[in-house]
Amino acid sequence: MSAETPETPTGSPRLSVLVPVAAGSAEGGLAIVESLLKQDFDDWELIVVGPDEVAVPEALANRTMLVRLDRGCTLAEALGAGMAKASGEFLTILGADSILDPTALGAVCAEMDAQTDVVYSDEVIAGAEFKKPDFSAERLRSQFYLGSLAAYRTSALRAIGGVRPGFDGAEEYDLALRATRAARKVAHLDSTLVESGTRPIAHGWGTPESAAMEATRRVIDDHLRATGGGVVEQVRRSGVHRTRRNVEGNPLVSIVIPTRGDRATIGGVDRCMVVEAVRGIVERSSYTNVEFVVVIDDVAPADVREALRRVAGERLTLVEWSRPFNFSEKVNLGVLRSRGDYVVLLNDDVDVISESWIEPMLALAQRPRAGLVGAMLYFEDDTIQHAGHAYYRLDVTHIGLNSERGAAGPWGAFLLEREVAGVTCACALVRRDVFIEAGGLSTLLPGNFNDVDLCMKLATLGYQSYWTPFAELYHFESKSRDSRVARSEIDVAWGRWESHFWRSPFWPTDPHERFAREASE
Amino acid sequence: MRCATWCNPHPDRWSRSLRDSLDGARAGDRAGLRALGTLRGVARERGTDGSLTEREIQLELRQMALVDRVLGLEAEVARLRANVPPGLSARDEIERLQAELRSIYGPRTRAIGATVVRVLRARRAARAK
């Protein structure tokens, strides 16, 4: 490998743009050059790592460094050679066929304050716009979503050892995981600044797909081991991988269910909702160290109590409720009556689908500074009721509402564990002391928005909510309660959090929008 | 263009001030604040079977309601302050909410707040010179 510098830049630029070019892939020239020429920001250098035939136009010659490749050079070696030459304070790796917005490089540098080590932007991929979440460490272990315009502090990259060899086809993913792990701050530029090519950078470097997928598995596995453990269950061609965290220990989980003991017809069968909810958990849950705390209205029929005792046995604590309806008060009382270090807040109108529904929620609740963890909930007709909360232009709604069961969602979002702004308390798991620290569910919100409010309160205290698709339940929404919303509830919830209801940090688009692109298997 | 960070998606001053305030309240003298102060204490005093007594539960329910009220008031103040500059009616509302917060926080926290205000005023005066 040899380097030639047409003209050595004087002083260190703010940004180094590193473009690796595989042999035989640049015969038509570098598409990125045109958009680089249009940048409204000047303090950058270009490092092209490529074969002899690669050339850059005269207009860029004074800021370009060409690093020649040996035949058979790997992408990791090419990136390493480029990084060694980089003199910018920050560095971004771009595909040769990327198209940048004229403001892109300037915007990236403007966001790089003294604490920021990584910044990434929204982008257009193969014609579809990807409005990305704010930095989501848990999502990143299942999807390399930072994408085409991610810039790193060069010193931080060198501190982690730069690009590692031995992960052919997953070099950028590996770099992103390691860099964000070590980063003091990761910033998301909520603006579409790049249109990436149809092919990943690694394409053209001769790595067979199977080897690239195996490298991806090792990259994620390595990351999980470095961040508390977990399992890579499936690496997918779509780039949306199935990974999960491990449960630490076997803690007692208290399942708190407020109920009036109502009956409803589900699938043509009359049933007592709470009894069948508990029966489903007892008969089908793989996690067995649980207790049930059922807060039951005193007007509930006596046979409901008897049925609950038969189904749950010694694991049942019945708490009598004789005050006027207040869902929040009932849940708070149930949590205080519970003995577990973790509590599941559960409506009585649910039915467990996945046997291992507690484990994925518990594992996420055991993450540092975890708040509420929500589940995938389906209506009776097998459409999605809940895949996390989203707030958009003062609308508070469920992600995925009315989508078909099995849909991947925008950019595979229904298939992976991720950070969310909030979750429904129809089924949510949380550490008991965290719940109490936030004052529990607000009794000022007796029937609605108490879950939204709790997640917001937890966020202000520094706790992060998560959602997992691996805990699946039916939620026969409002089969057992009055679904009307009181004016006072809107006043309280919006009075507190209205300014947060304009945009969700982890779901920045309209949740009702039809999906521009769904990940395919 | 909006930028957000993962370190603290809501880098609002009020979450920190709330924790400080609650800590201050916990250290206060008023009988009403002792309840707030024992919030975590009660949780630690669970019996050998992990359950709370009826009295402890009632006390803790009151404490949780108080914490919820504080968090809610802080959020309302922050929302109103987000409209810069706040209108006259918003300023009145902020004042009212802050008065309510002060009544919860108690004298010690007010003293801490006064100290902070003094320091800020001194800095501002120094900058003006």
* Residue-wise pLDDT tens digits, B112-129: 555 555 555 565 566 555
C-alpha span between A61 and A37 (Å, rounded)? 11
Instruction: Measure A296 CA to nearest chain B CA, in Å.
Output: 17
C-alpha span between A109 and A98 (Å, rounded)? 18
C-alpha span between A104 and A40 (Å, rounded)? 8
The ranges of chain A with pLDDT < 50 are 1-9, 516-517, 519-521
Q: Which of A187, A443, A460 sits opposite B5 (nearest CB)?
A: A187
CB B21 within 8 A of CB B100: no
Chain B positions touching A492 (Cβ under 8 A) are 72
From the list A81, A21, A371, the residue with the least C-alpha distance to A204 is: A21
Give the pLDDT of residue A272: 97
Instruction: Measure A401 CA to nearest chain B CA, in Å.
Output: 25
Token pair belonging to A417: 């564990």
Instruction: Measure B103 CA to nearest chain A CA, in Å.
Output: 18
The 10 Å CB-count burial string (b at 16+, else e) for A387-407 is bbbbbbeeebbbbbeebeeeb
Cis peptide before B85 (omega within 30 of 0): yes
Work out whether strand A253-259 and strand A290-297 pair parallel, antiparallel, or are unpaired.
parallel
Chain A positions touching B1 (Cβ under 8 A) are 107, 189-191
Q: Which of A137, A186, A495 sits opposite B5 (nearest CB)?
A: A186
Q: For residue A415, give Cα distances in angstroms to A146, A238, A398, A481, A511.
A: 18, 11, 16, 30, 16
Q: Is A134's CB within 8 Å of B9's CB?
A: yes
Q: Is A459's CB within 8 Å of B9's CB?
A: yes
Give the pLDDT of residue B94: 86
Give the pLDDT of residue A156: 97
Give the pLDDT of residue A51: 83
Give the pLDDT of residue A479: 54
Give the pLDDT of residue A378: 97
Query: What is the residue type of B38?
Result: T
Look up the ipTM and state it. 0.87
CB A172 within 8 A of CB A151: no
Give the pLDDT of residue B105: 67
Return the higher-pLDDT residue of B36 and A402.
A402
Give the pLDDT of residue A441: 98
> H or E stretch including A130?
strand A128-130
Return the higher-pLDDT residue of A138 and B48.
A138
From the list A344, A336, A396, the residue with the least C-alpha distance to A375 is: A344
Instruction: Measure A66 CA to nearest chain B CA, in Å.
Output: 33
What is the CB neighbour count within 10 angstroms for residue A12? 13
Chain B positions touching A134 (Cβ under 8 A) are 4-6, 9
> Which range is least confidently modeled, A26-30, A179-183, B55-59, B96-100?
A26-30
CB A145 within 8 A of CB A132: yes
Give the pLDDT of residue A393: 86
pLDDT of B8 above 50: no
| A26, A27, A32, A36 alpha-carbon torsion, rounded to 10° | 110
C-alpha span between A322 and A63 (Å, rounded)? 77
- Model pTM? 0.86
Return the higher-pLDDT residue of B97 and B23.
B97
Chain B positions touching A503 (Cβ under 8 A) are 2
Q: In percent, how much of chain B has pLDDT > 90?
A: 9
Read off the pLDDT of each residue in B26-30 and give the average, rounded to a whole number: 37
Give the pLDDT of residue A283: 97
Asked if the C-beta of B9 comes within 8 angstroms of chain A's C-beta atoms, the answer is yes
Helix (H, G, I), strand (E, B) or coil at A263: strand
pLDDT category of residue B4 using cuts at 50, 70 and 90: very low
Return the higher-pLDDT residue of B42 and A84.
A84
CB A227 within 8 A of CB A180: no
Q: How far apart are the first and last CA of chain A?
A: 39
